[in-house]
Amino acid sequence: MSASPPDLTGRHLLLGVTGSIAAYKAAPLVRLFKEAGAEVQVLMTPDAERFITPLTLGTLSEREVLTEIFPENEEGSWTKHVTLGEWADLFVVAPATAHTVAKLARGFCDSMLTATALSARCPLLVCPAMDREMYRHPATQDNLERLEEMGYAVMPAAHGELASGLVGQGRMPEPDAIRERSAEMIDRAEQSTAASSASFGDRSLQGESVLVTAGPTQEPFDPVRVLTNRSTGTMGHALARSAARRGGTVTLITGPTTLAPPEDVDVVRVETAEEMNQAVQAHRDTADLVFMAAAVADYTPAERSNTKLKKGDDFVLHLRRTPDILKTVGDHKRSGQILVGFAMETNDAYENARRKLEEKNLDWIVLNDLTEEGAGFGPNTNRVTLLSRDGASEDLPLMAKSDVAEAILDRVLSAHSEKAS
């Protein structure tokens, strides 16, 4: 966090408060926003009033708290959600319950909060707060990933003691952290607008060709069953989306996932490691930057049955190695091309990643240590270490995978620019 509070003078902030026990944190959050100079309009769901009163938040914000889509005593109340959506520089939902996250992800419109979210033209920051198992549940993770695909920012829930008595990830981020993130989002939005009023984000990859791999591969051994892994493809999709927003011409080669394809990206769908190898080798030479984020199977069945194999007491499956796609790309890397690999480790993580970087002729490698909570497959968060060819390394904090993608691109492009100059 910065040494001094951010300056939000004159900024218009919407704060959506939902029915979580963490709603009490909305009071200090409003105070922090106001101290930074922002104007704050609080929107509450009806269930939020069970945990904190509108009077409290209205007093702190110096504005009447709104709950219903058509508020009483409000001129033009039937379009209030529209005018608020145009007024705001940022919409923060904190705390965001699993119920509200699901509504936002699916476009529900049954309160002033959800109606304004659909109308808002500004960035939207979601700060989840719920019990550990609710946060981990695939439905919640799917909804959070969907929000990120829609362009919302999601702050990972914090780790700690929960209202249920359990300890784990699910706590609402602390108010000062939310204020810092809010200021960063407003600054980024303003910089983006200043850079190009006709496009989204910076154009640091304008004219560059980017190749990204994502997701698992599936190696069938009969018409019904496959060997695969737990990869969801979220990290690779986030990289492809971020690169496209920066102006790159992006090709995403993805194994089977349930994710919607990113906008403005050429998507090549594959199933097996061999299919991914063929697709990558066909695109590698034209790419300026290559991000190999896919979790490719190391082994595939040596033989594939044309009929479903029946159950027996014992079953022996003979495997053979799949093509080493990353090494092949590294061996054929052309001058000026940037190659970024990924390593997922459970022991001797740093040493194994550094060895992989050297052996595969990579410029960068992104290390995931599965022993660290929030890292790796599944969650919409990641905690990674960036290792570069020149020996430098940087540990990134636990962040949403969309933010990890931005950080990776920032570091890689910055280093590339310094070398070029």
Average pLDDT value for residue range 134-147: 91
Q: Which residue has the higher pLDDT, 191 or 236?
A: 236
pTM of the model: 0.60
Query: What percentage of the chain has pLDDT greater than the value 70?
Result: 90
Q: What is the pLDDT of residue 201?
A: 41
Q: What is the pLDDT of residue 374?
A: 61
What domains are defined for the chain?
A: 12-195 (3.40.50.1950), 209-420 (3.40.50.10300)
* Rounded Cα gap, residues 220 and 272, in angstroms: 8
pLDDT at 40 over 90: yes
Strand order in the sheet with 209-214: 265-269, 249-254, 209-214, 289-292, 338-345, 364-369, 384-388, 393-395
Residue partners of 83: CB distance under 8 A and separation at least 6: 76
If pLDDT is split at 50, 70 and 90, which confidence band does 159 have?
A: confident
pLDDT at 26 over 90: yes
Q: What is the pLDDT of residue 319?
A: 95
pLDDT at 132 over 80: yes
What's the pLDDT tens digit per position in 267-294?
A: 999 999 999 999 999 999 999 999 999 9
Q: Which residue has the higher pLDDT, 300 or 397?
A: 300
Q: What is the pLDDT of residue 18?
A: 92
Q: What is the pLDDT of residue 1?
A: 41
If pLDDT is split at 50, 70 and 90, which confidence band does 197 have?
A: very low
Q: What is the pLDDT of residue 372?
A: 75
Among 25-29, 255-259, 326-330, 354-358, where is mean pLDDT lowest?
Answer: 255-259
Q: What is the pLDDT of residue 73?
A: 57
* Rounded Cα gap, residues 14 and 85, in angstroms: 9
Residue partners of 344: CB distance under 8 A and separation at least 6: 295, 368, 370, 376, 377
229 is an active site residue: yes
Q: In the numeric block, which tokens belong to residue 124?
A: 């939207």
Catalytic residue among 73, 229, 352, 368: 229
Query: What percentage of the chain has pLDDT greater than the value 90?
Result: 54
Q: What is the pLDDT of residue 376?
A: 62
If pLDDT is split at 50, 70 and 90, which confidence band does 160 have?
A: confident
Average pLDDT of the chain, as a whole number: 87
* Rounded Cα gap, residues 215 and 294, in angstroms: 5
Q: What is the pLDDT of residue 15?
A: 94
What's the pLDDT tens digit per position in 368-415?
A: 887 776 666 655 677 899 999 999 899 988 777 888 899 999 999 988
Among 105-109, 252-256, 293-297, where is mean pLDDT lowest?
Answer: 105-109
Average pLDDT value for residue range 140-153: 88
